[in-house]
Amino acid sequence: MIRDFVLASWLGLAALSPALAQAQSQPLLPTPQRVLTLSAAASMDVPNDWLTLSFSTTREGTDASAVQSALRQALDAALAEARRVAKPGQVELRAGNLSVYPRYNPKGGINGWQGSTELTVEGRDMTVIAQLAPRISSMSIARVGYSLSREAREQVESEVGARAIERYKKRADEVTRQFGFNRWSLREVQLNTDAPMPPVPMMRAKTMAASAADEALPVEPGRGQVNAMVTGSIQME
């Protein structure tokens, strides 16, 4: 058995020897010289084309099933009204979570139940969505937000990204000359784009319900900003 172990060990070393010899024969890569890290950014202001309108309602009572049923009825009524104007890409609907949870008294016992549910209506057709708001009476407006649609964001991202790349190349030319070199080559680069969501204003449900009873929701989409950042390193030659 000892002879077999020695033989196996010798065969293993014999198999590794060519690999070790090849690794030792390969020259070490030189440490990069004249490498510089740069960054450049670009941004563009564009009109928001997407309206997000969230409705919510709460119910409470002594029976959990009754609270859940009341929430379901309020959500179904709102959905029925919203489905009349729903259209893919223009007016889209998304029902939120319907939750019911216990309400406790000071001694820790359950003395009732309360719950809430939400409905989100969003899309490009801001006029239709604004006119829908006063027709949904079973729920109140909770949040209103404006942003860029996915298609608009992707279109703008391409242009902003191109601007950032051109600025990066111009910056690389300038810095290379300032350091006394004639040209540069790109080693590695990253391009990141983003379109931050604008702040979503919180509105008091009672105030919105009262103001929306007789008129459509005022629409003021404003403008959003799309940003692009190029970061990378160059080899000056």
Condensed to tens digits (0 to 9), the pLDDT of residues 151-184 reads 888 888 889 999 999 999 999 999 999 999 999 9
Q: What are the tokens at 43?
A: 């941004």
State pTM to two decimals.
0.67
Mean pLDDT of 13-32: 55
pLDDT at residue 225, rounded to an integer:
85
Phi-psi region of 117 (alpha: psi -120 to 50; beta: other; left: phi over 0): beta
Q: Which residue type is seen at 170?
A: K
Instruction: State the DSSP H helix or E strand holding residue 95, giving kind and residue range, or none if neither.
Output: strand 92-95
Contact 82, 132 (CB under 8 A): yes
Residue 83 lies in a domain: yes
pLDDT at residue 180, rounded to an integer:
92
Task: Determine how many CB atoms are found less than 10 A away from the CB of residue 104.
Answer: 11
Residue 115 lies in a domain: yes
Inform me whether the pLDDT recorded for 196 exceeds 80.
Answer: no
Residue 206 lies in a domain: yes
Question: In Å, how far are 2, 6, 118, 224 from 11, measured between CA atoms?
Answer: 14, 9, 71, 68
Domain that holds residue 55: 48-148+198-223
Of the segments 11-20, 206-215, 228-237, which one has the largest average pLDDT value?
228-237
Residue 57 lies in a domain: yes
pLDDT at residue 40, rounded to an integer:
92
pLDDT at residue 24, rounded to an integer:
55
Residue 84 lies in a domain: yes
- Per-residue model confidence as pLDDT tens digits over 108-119: 888 899 999 999
Q: For all residues of the chain together, what is the average pLDDT? A: 82
Residue 42 lies in a domain: no
Mean pLDDT of 9-37: 59
CATH number at residue 89: 3.30.70.2970
Task: Determine how many CB atoms are found less than 10 A away from the CB of residue 99.
Answer: 12
Residue 218 lies in a domain: yes
Contact 89, 160 (CB under 8 A): no
Residue 28 lies in a domain: no
Say how many domains are in the chain.
1
